Structure formats: structure tokens, C-alpha cells
């Protein structure tokens, strides 16, 4: 096991990793920008290193500063959390070249799965179904020809994309030609890579992802699926597990497909294989080569500490459990608490938290790095916390979530707590019969 790990992130995920390290008897080194000097992940870490001014490009995305911080403090490994450089193959390679262990998959696996077109090809080779489309849309003419073969509506997507960026929908050929131009510009600006591919737009699918974990001995397991269909502008709002909308037969097939793909990719450490589901049919869309924002849902469902497992695997240990040892008990849900105003088109709401009361009780977990008096900086993602609940049944989990959200007092800023309470009252959510377009329809008065 490592003696010291540098946590190359901020906020609640940095605090989450710090705590996992300390429970393993490993010293945790935090990094911080000037905006985060008083942050909780800095306070709780064993050491902390300033890495630059507030803009992420000059701090949390500065590879040289992060590696220098690891060297200065004698850290042996770097945990990237999620976001920032977590899925950056060049950062993983730079860590390796500096003699540091990257707590995540090898750089080669990140590169292989990070390009969505290459990942589609790999999925087909592994016998995993993919959404009809093409792996390359290098010109509007090629895109139009492919669309003519598979039909409209169609999605133009960035091969190096993520977070819902570099995606456009076209209803006809004229719209497609414009979408190709816009998506390419956006992809080049966001990812430095304008490569595009096409996917047939499924009208009302579910978004279901499977948590996988692999070690360096070739062992791969799944930890069941998460339902992620409650989305706004392709950004997840809440997640639950197990999915209320798939049968046990589909559950088994989709999990087996995820494991098969991870093995085909030579994957090690934590990863998530994402699918679109319509009825009993499912299609691979992408693989996230990192720990997910919603990983606590799986932890609550299975009792497995995914972050500790990540660190053990990075240190060279085999998986601590086999597939038949992974339990699935009860039902779990996660609600993303964002500093946004749902009544004002989700306008960001940075500012000082004047009052904070965190919910508790059986089956309630809050992952957050805020405190009363904390000033939320305007430079980073708007998520300020995650409320996770668990109960033996889905109905009981909904009741517990409603109670916990009402108990959650976060004043001084606007948050998405009222939106979550509204969703819990909706018949579509309560029945489990919702899809990826449901929330947009609800917000637009549908």
C-alpha cells in the first residue's frame, strides 16, 4: 500500500478521496487554488499545496503544477477524482513518466475508451450492441449519406466529447449540415479535437450505466447498474439503483456486456459503461474511465467502498471480491444539490452559505465539502453536495428522500432542492416510468 497519495481535485470528491486514504492508513495531500484555501478538503488533508490562481486552467488543470506538488510532498500516487484531468490520457502518462502511480486505468485504456468512435468499434468487436450510426462524420456529405441510410432524427456527436458538449440533433439534411459545422467548432473549442460521429436518435430511451471494476490480473466484475435518465441538457440530475425500468433478464445481459467490453479494453480500476435502453434492447454509447459523481449510489446498494477499491488496485492488489460476492440489497438514490436557481433557468447562484443544516437518520448520507459561512466560488462546477438515501424498497427510499430533502436547510444561495422535491411528487418518477426526455418536458410545461 502507498504511504502518501496526492488528490488532484477539489470539493466533495477531493474530500471523499482524502477520507478513503486516511481510512486505509495512507497520508493524503490536498491541492488548492487561491479560491479554495479555506476549503474542507484542504482542512482535512494531512498536507496541502497551493497550485495556482482560481481559474482551473492555471491550477487544477496544470499538469506540471500537480506533478511538482506530488514530488515536493513525496507522494507515490495521484488520485484524479472526477472531472478536470480524470480522463486525460496525457496526464495519466505524465504521472507514469514522473514515477507516480495514477489511481485509475492505464493511459492506453483511457485513450482507447475516451475516443467515442474508437470505443464504438471496440464494443462491436466485443459483441456489445451499439446505437446505429457511423464512427466518422468527417464531412457534411458523408454525414448526409449515413443519415440517409439510417434515417432521421440523428445526433452529431464529438468523438472526444463529454458532459453533453459537442452534441447536436438534426431532423433533416439541412439541419444536419448545420449541426456538423456547429458541433465541430464546439468540439474543437472544448476538447481540441473536432472529430465527429453519428448516432441514430432514440426518441424516448432510458440511460442506464453499469459500474465495473478491474484489477491488473485481468479480473473484471460489475457492481450492477444505475438509472440515470433524469437529465437536463444531457446533465444528470438524480440517479437510482437498481434501475426501476429494466427486467432481471436485461439487467443480467447489460452487466455481462459491460464486463465483456472492459475485458476487451484491458481495463483496470473503476469505470462506467453507459447504455441507452428501449424495451428489452440496449445499446452501448460510451465508457467513462474514472470514478463517477454518482458512485455513492452503488456503494449504498452493494456496501463496497469503490474509492478504497480504486486505491488498493492502483497499489497492485487484486480485486477484494469476486462477482458472486457482490451483494445487491435494497434501493439507493442520489440527488445532486447544485447552487442554481431552478425558477430562473438554473442560473448559477454562488455566494455565502448563511445557514446549513444537514439531514441525517438511518440510510441517509451527504457527500459535500461546504460549511456554514463557506463562500461558494464562481469559478467551478455548481454542485455543492449530494444527498444519498438507501432503504429496503424503492417506495421507502422515495419517502426517506422526501423527508431528508425537507430537512436539508441550505440558506444564502438558491439550490436545486425544490426541484428534487417536485420530482419526487411526480407520477412518472414514482412509477419508475420515465426516460431521458422526461425532465425537459416537465420543465417546458409538458
CA-nearest of 62, 114, 69 to 88 is 114
368: number of CA atoms within 13 Å, CB side? 27
Listed in sequence order, the residues at least 6 apart from 362 whose beta carbon sits closer than 8 Å to its beta carbon are: 400
d(CA 323, CA 319): 10
CA-nearest of 364, 308, 361 to 333 is 364
Pull the grid cell for residue 423: 420530482
d(CA 446, CA 426): 12
Which three-class secondary structure state does DSSP give residue 110?
helix
| Active-site annotation holds for 290 | yes
DSSP count for the chain of H helices, then E strands: 15, 23
CB neighbour burial string for 302-316, b if at least 16 within 10 angstroms, e if fewer: bebbbbbbbbbbbbe
d(CA 258, CA 250): 12
Pull the grid cell for residue 96: 507514469
CA 350 vs CA 158, 238, 408: distances in Å: 30, 21, 18
Q: How far, in whole angstroms, is CA 62 from its chain's centroid?
A: 21
Q: Which of 120, 168, 290, 400 is catalytic?
A: 290
Q: Is residue 212 left, alpha or beta, with left meaning phi > 0 and alpha meaning psi from -120 to 50?
A: beta
* Catalytic residue annotation: 290
Amino acid at each position: 500500500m502507498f504511504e502518501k497519495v496526492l488528490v488532484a481535485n477539489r470539493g466533495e470528491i477531493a474530500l471523499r478521496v482524502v477520507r478513503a486514504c486516511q481510512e486505509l492508513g495512507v497520508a493524503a495531500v490536498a491541492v488548492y487554488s487561491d479560491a479554495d484555501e479555506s476549503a474542507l478538503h484542504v482542512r482535512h488533508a494531512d498536507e496541502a499545496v497551493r497550485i495556482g490562481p482560481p481559474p482551473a486552467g492555471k491550477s487544477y488543470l496544470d499538469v506540471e503544477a500537480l506533478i511538482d506538488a506530488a514530488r515536493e510532498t513525496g507522494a507515490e500516487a495521484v488520485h484524479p477524482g472526477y472531472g478536470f484531468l480524470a480522463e486525460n490520457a496525457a496526464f495519466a502518462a505524465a504521472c507514469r513518466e514522473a514515477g507516480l502511480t495514477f489511481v485509475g486505468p492505464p493511459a492506453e485504456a483511457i485513450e482507447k475508451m475516451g475516443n467515442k468512435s474508437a470505443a464504438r468499434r471496440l464494443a462491436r468487436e466485443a459483441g456489445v450492441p451499439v446505437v446505429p450510426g457511423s464512427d466518422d462524420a468527417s464531412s457534411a456529405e458523408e454525414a448526409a449519406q449515413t443519415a440517409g441510410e439510417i434515417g432521421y432524427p440523428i445526433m452529431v456527436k464529438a468523438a472526444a466529447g463529454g458532459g453533453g458538449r459537442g452534441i447536436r440533433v438534426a431532423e433533416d439534411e439541412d439541419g444536419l449540415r448545420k449541426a456538423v459545422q456547429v458541433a465541430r467548432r464546439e468540439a474543437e473549442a472544448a476538447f481540441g479535437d473536432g472529430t465527429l460521429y453519428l448516432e441514430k436518435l432514440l426518441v424516448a430511451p432510458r440511460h442506464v450505466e453499469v459500474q465495473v471494476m478491474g484489477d491488473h490480473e485481468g479480473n473484471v466484475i460489475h457492481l450492477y447498474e444505475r438509472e440515470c435518465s433524469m437529465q437536463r441538457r444531457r446533465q444528470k440530475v438524480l440517479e437510482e439503483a437498481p434501475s426501476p425500468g429494466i427486467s432481471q433478464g436485461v439487467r443480467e445481459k447489460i452487466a455481462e456486456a459491460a464486463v465483456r467490453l472492459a475485458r476487451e479494453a484491458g481495463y483496470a480500476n473503476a469505470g462506467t459503461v453507459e447504455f441507452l435502453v428501449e424495451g428489452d434492447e440496449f445499446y452501448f454509447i460510451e465508457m467513462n474511465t474514472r470514478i463517477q459523481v454518482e458512485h455513492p449510489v452503488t456503494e449504498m446498494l452493494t456496501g463496497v467502498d469503490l474509492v478504497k477499491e480504486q486505491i488498493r488496485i492502483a497499489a497492485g492488489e487484486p480485486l477484494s471480491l469476486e462477482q458472486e460476492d457482490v451483494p445487491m440489497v435494497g434501493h439507493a438514490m442520489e440527488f445532486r444539490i447544485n447552487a442554481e436557481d431552478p425558477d430562473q433557468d438554473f442560473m448559477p447562484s454562488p455566494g455565502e452559505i448563511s445557514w446549513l443544516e444537514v439531514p441525517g437518520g438511518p440510510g441517509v448520507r451527504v457527500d459535500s465539502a461546504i460549511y456554514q459561512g463557506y463562500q461558494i466560488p464562481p469559478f467551478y462546477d455548481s454542485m455543492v453536495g449530494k444527498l444519498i438515501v438507501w432503504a429496503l424498497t424503492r417506495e421507502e427510499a422515495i419517502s426517506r428522500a422526501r423527508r431528508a430533502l425537507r430537512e436539508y436547510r441550505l440558506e444564502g444561495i438558491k439550490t436545486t432542492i425544490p426541484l428534487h422535491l417536485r420530482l419526487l411528487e411526480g407520477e412518472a418518477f414514482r412509477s419508475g416510468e420515465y426516460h431521458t426526455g422526461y425532465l425537459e418536458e416537465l420543465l417546458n410545461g409538458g
